[in-house]
Structure 1
């Protein structure tokens, strides 16, 4: 049932966890709206948080397409995220060492600085890296992929930190333009929009200036990225390809006995997830306008895993919800610095995430939004059983039945 044609009926069909998620989400949005109108939360910072939530949703989507679909244990989320981020930064930033290196080459110098080129380069490097790490490990047990991916994450971080001639080392890369810089209309949109002053609550004006309009373009970009990825994964999850991946995750020997090339399917899943993670890195580059080795810390991988486990392994909706929760905890704890507490509130974010994991494992081991509702016959999850079988055979329906 469509929520647009019959919203009340759609709400009544929600399961208890789905209703809980919907209620909490609506309450949280109302809280943010009140904070915006009262001036407690700046509109530009609010849009930055939306962009950050979209970035973590992309990371969760990528990991979910590997672990949730095919059972591939990937501990190198930060590596592919960093490849996408640095690939975009080095080919677009004015302070990039590559700009100085190829300044005298006509063709390359004309391509440097174009965000589309950075996007393509970041995804291409992630594709090659995923192939190189997948070839020797995906034919073996999942343990080997976990070990290799864990080492890959650290290798990429150390290369970024030490190869100063290419990555600028610990100083990072600055001077990164917005993704729409140089585009017609969108490139000049933030500067062309007038500054607005809204005062819904007396004494608490809301200012919409150039930074706000620039942040709105970032939100538009991440919605396009996340929406496109969600649509692709949703279709893939219900397709025969997705059913083979779920079989591989449950029993790879059974899938192999049915004649499926499990190595090929696992490679496809691993490459797809790696590209999505790199896409998140490309977006982060143009959102934050700075990339450094600290962005490749293992905590990024940890956050992505928590988001997938919290939402439900294999659930695209769960990955989206988990990414939003991670950003809420990560950024929400920053405001505790304004509250007089007897302890330092900064480490509380890891404590809260640990509490969330324990609570989920205790009360919802399958995740808040398990993937059953996203499969081919959602009614089967609600007790509706399998799809109705026809009352008569094909020959009877065509009128060709009868005694011979």
Structure 2
């Protein structure tokens, strides 16, 4: 049984109902160290000679200690804390809804304040606990432009890109909720709780196409992987793209994280239908970019994601063609049983079909794990994210439950 909590405060509800306009303070989250220093000087908060030192202090509090209130920065003077609070923000986004799946997966609906003349926006973020690791699935856009036909997110039109701050805020807030930051009694040198990290891996596989928001994603991931802050290894960060070919080389050269490709088909005709960006960047161009991805090796393989759709892309001939296409690319192939959502026109492949498909790929020497669906009961599984999912009508929820029951024996 899934649990769902609406934790919007009464004050927040009232403010939203009245459309109260609150002056926006610039956030310090998401700035590089150099930008932090420049911002403090430009606002006359600190003299230039102190800027580098103060920026380092703030960096530590934001990304090592995980504070979201200037008053908790106890090695900074009271007057300076007050001035920082007057001019800047470091608060977390509002958590509108938190759902916990029967399998322990968590999904949060975050609301971010307006940007300029815009309106508040909402996005979803998912945490998947596993033995020995915990993976956070982060969104890069509000909605999506790609309209992949099997993906729920693709039915929500793009509203806007997320800022570097908003991308990082998903990680910071998740770590807050999971108790993954040191408490005040933890020694100053400690970065994670004694029992280890709950968020050990992050994947840019949430709402949106990360490479259509390259600059903000790059900035956020470089901060997330900074060794003096959040300190996530780049080998534990995976960026998934549907195939924005011109940005793939830049991803390897400028960000240096692991790459995943939403492949899902072995010929252009089928991929044009499933992943329409293929019409702009067809398979040959996409796979050529993968072969030249900076840093690729047997130790740094590219992950190819392949959703299993009944009678669409799941034949043994498809499996053999997949092996041929990927020849020469150090690769892992994730086979993803299709996750149903209200209104979808596809069915998940039979489990026996998925296993036979995996056998062909395995015999060719590729690792091809079948991904265990997680969080289906709260629409948190791969391809199910959408800002409005918490507002599904009762009839839609019943339809989803019916689809899950029907497919239980298959996936």
Rg (Cα) greater in structure: 1
Higher relative contact order at CA 8 Å, sep ≥6: structure 1 or structure 2?
A: 1
**TM-score w.r.t. structure 1 length?**
0.23
**TM-score w.r.t. structure 2 length?**
0.23
